[in-house]
A and B are shown apart, each in its own frame.
Chain A
Amino acid sequence: MSTATTQKITLAKGLNMGLRKAMEDDDKVLLMGEDVGKLGGVFRITDGLQKDFGEDRVIDSPLAESGIVGTAVGMALRGYRPVVEIQFDGFVYPAYDQIVCQVAKYTYRSQGKVKMPIVIRIPFGGGIGAVEHHSESPEAQFAHTPGLKVVACSNPVDGYWMIQQAIAHDDPVIFLEPKRQYHADKAELDESATPEPLFTSRVVRPGTDATVLAYGPTVKTALKCAEAAESEGRSLEVIDLRTLSPLDMAPVYESVRRTGRCVVTHEAHVNLGMGAELAARVTEQCFYSLEAPVLRVGAFDTPYPPSRIEEEYLPDLDRVLDAVDRSFSY
């Protein structure tokens, strides 16, 4: 059964279609970044857009991350809605100053007189066998910065809708794309559907015995984990957070109060990561419902290792399952 508005797409395709739609809907939307034009980006997310929208709207920029973000600030001040692509997570640091000191603070500094509708797209996370600086998870650094909103998509359908919503939003959004998932799985997209609001988390698999919180690349891991647990007679509820700042905690609290157990998993380092924040909030709000402490499964507090051992570093099915087991052992 296929209607005109329904098709099977990858995350890369969903993002590409979403960007295209946003550019069609609003001629103030511009794309900027290294190789985003002719090449269509190193991951081809902007494929074909320069051809259709021209070099003035899909801007191949010099190799200068601070320059890309800083000029985007100027574009936004002029009334444009720049969507910036950072080629890889590890290369966002040269732009860190512009992001945290300028992008994040302009609205506050101007007492609301100036808006900063910038989207900074970052392909993030590991598992692609890359050399160093190509597999990092810097989300906590941005979620810790007031004035930035941080979201992470995990699937093709969300990719399509969330990118459009982020572009239409009047505040700066750090938009994290799990690069490992770009070309992995396909999903059915119905373009005529009404999407869920941007800054909301979602139960992606209902369950009764424990709650697993994930976002971006670990959503898939968490879902696999729930499948495996089921065969052992345990029912896990999986929540895709989707938004990291602001956090949408209501569905999380509701779930943990029901299940009494909570495991958080992300690819970033555990120390001072999103898991720490989630554990603190869940403990504060669900203290009397908890049967076990909130457990975190993330990467070790080491730099990203050589890729031959990255599977040993990233949280995988077994490590998340192990945490679930530990949660039940209390």
Chain B
Amino acid sequence: MSDPASPRSDTFGPDLAEVFGPSQSDGGPDLVQLLTPEGERVHHPEFDHDFSAEELRGLYRDMVLTRRIDVEATALQRHGELGIWAQLLGQEAAQIGAGRALRPQDYVFPTYREHGVAYCKGVDPLRLLGLFRGVDQGGWDPNENNFGLYTIVIGAQTLHATGYAMGMQRDGVVGTGDPERDAAVIAHFGDGASSQGDVNEAFIFAASYNAPVVFFCQNNQWAISEPIERQTRIPLYQRALGFGFPGIRVDGNDVLATYAVTKAALQRAREGNGPSFVEAYTYRMGAHTTTDDPTRYRLNDELEHWKLKDPIERLKVYLRRNGLVDQEFFDSLDAEAKELGHHLREGCKALPDPKPLDQFGYVFSEMTEEIAAQRDGFAAYLESFEESHA
């Protein structure tokens, strides 16, 4: 089995194990962790947080509901209601930790898999389905929840995030000393995206202008079938140093740690201390999307190994062991998840198809004569069929 975190030296070049130390399937010595896979609470000298019972139950609930959104959407795709779906199974902690660390004034630039972050930002999960069903290209108003539209071109949004953060600087909402006012931006992307020019350019711009942006990479070990070793010869978080800002590797299956680390990174940005890079070390337990077949490139052992690190299970163990939950909590959460599933199932089928003439709308902020003429011509063409049937 390929160890996803161990720098390979079997192809060419120096023995990287000598440079970076031995195999690191656990994320390596720099991995920030507050909750072990066995559900043990551990402490970290730099990134710790005193979680109340209420907060812990909240994070658990968020992860359960996010998994439900994912499972329902996957099922909807299987039933032909969605053309495709990008699953997040296994990445719930990375997304909820990051999503809950955000303040309302912070702005998110997502890729296409940030269903959990969207949920944290108050976007109705039903809205996420439009893109995948093909009824729209993002059915939410990005400025309503400060949650940008999903971005398909890998890495493009990291530049938008940086530009937006530079706009915040100019608007004087960074480093004001007023926590209610200070704002930051978070840009989500994957390990594959780290190879894109745009992501590297975003790092340069953010560092050069000290922009209040957190680069949040979910290293789920795979970019479709390309393993992390195909993207990088060094642990990803170490790249940040080369751009001149801190990089932190956090256990992406540990919601407490992702929360604490992202919170600190966002705070740093809001206070005017510039960008940082968070590598959430996690694993995509599902397929890349519903059209993917991971059995062609991934060994079952690997999946089994990561199942033991399930982000939801470990928090459940912790909550139970410390008497922070009772059966009623689970029952009501169950009911809530069912209700959410129902909402998605029924809502998805009810999403209205766009009308044929809708395709002409919004090419520009105002309709142009040329497009209006094409629309009117097409409308007349369509009407001619109706008449011939009459």
Contacts and interface: CB of A to CB of B under 8 A. Distances in A.
A108 B201 contact: no
A110 B142 contact: yes
Contacts of B362: 107-108, 110-112
A246 B156 contact: no
Contacts of B365: 107, 112, 115, 170-171
Contacts of B138: 109-110
Interface string A56-93: 10000110101101111111111110100000000000
A309 interface: no
A97 interface: yes
Contacts of A146: 363
B130 to A, nearest CB: 10
- Chain B interface size, under 10 / 10 to 19 / 20 to 34 / 35 or more: 35 or more
Contact of A66 (B143, B149, B166, B197): B197
B165 A64 contact: no
Nearest to B204: A62
Contacts of B169: 56
A74 B208 contact: no
Contacts of A283: none
B228 to A, nearest CB: 24
B167 A79 contact: yes
Nearest to B208: A62
A67 B205 contact: yes
B193 interface: no
A77 B368 CA distance: 22
Nearest to A112: B362
B212 to A, nearest CB: 12
Contacts, number: 130
Contacts of A308: none
A113 B141 contact: yes
Contact of A75 (B137, B167, B361, B368): B167
A98 interface: yes
Interface in B138-153: 138, 141-143, 148-149, 153
B304 interface: no
A101 interface: yes
- Chain A interface size, under 10 / 10 to 19 / 20 to 34 / 35 or more: 35 or more
A114 interface: yes
B153 A67 contact: no
A328 to B, nearest CB: 32
Contacts of A98: 156, 159, 198
A102 interface: yes
Given A78-B167, A112-B365, A114-B142, A70 B153 contact: no
Given A109-B137, A246-B369, A102 B160 contact: yes
A33 interface: no
B83 interface: no
Contacts of A179: none
Interface string B205-248: 10010000000000000000000000000000000000000000
B363 A70 contact: no
A247 B373 CA distance: 13
B184 interface: no
Interface string B334-360: 000000000000000000000000000
Contacts of A102: 153, 156, 160
Interface in B318-339: none
B205 A61 contact: yes
Contact of B159 (A74, A107, A114, A170): A74
21 contacts: A66-B201, A67-B202, A70-B158, A70-B159, A70-B201, A71-B162, A73-B163, A74-B160, A74-B164, A75-B163, A75-B167, A80-B170, A98-B156, A98-B198, A102-B153, A108-B362, A109-B149, A110-B137, A112-B361, A113-B141, A115-B365
A-B pairs with the 6 shortest C-beta distances? A74-B163, A70-B159, A78-B167, A71-B163, A67-B201, A74-B164
Given A56-B169, A109-B137, A109-B149, 13 more contacts: A66-B201, A70-B158, A71-B159, A74-B164, A75-B166, A77-B142, A108-B363, A110-B141, A111-B137, A113-B142, A113-B143, A170-B366, A246-B369
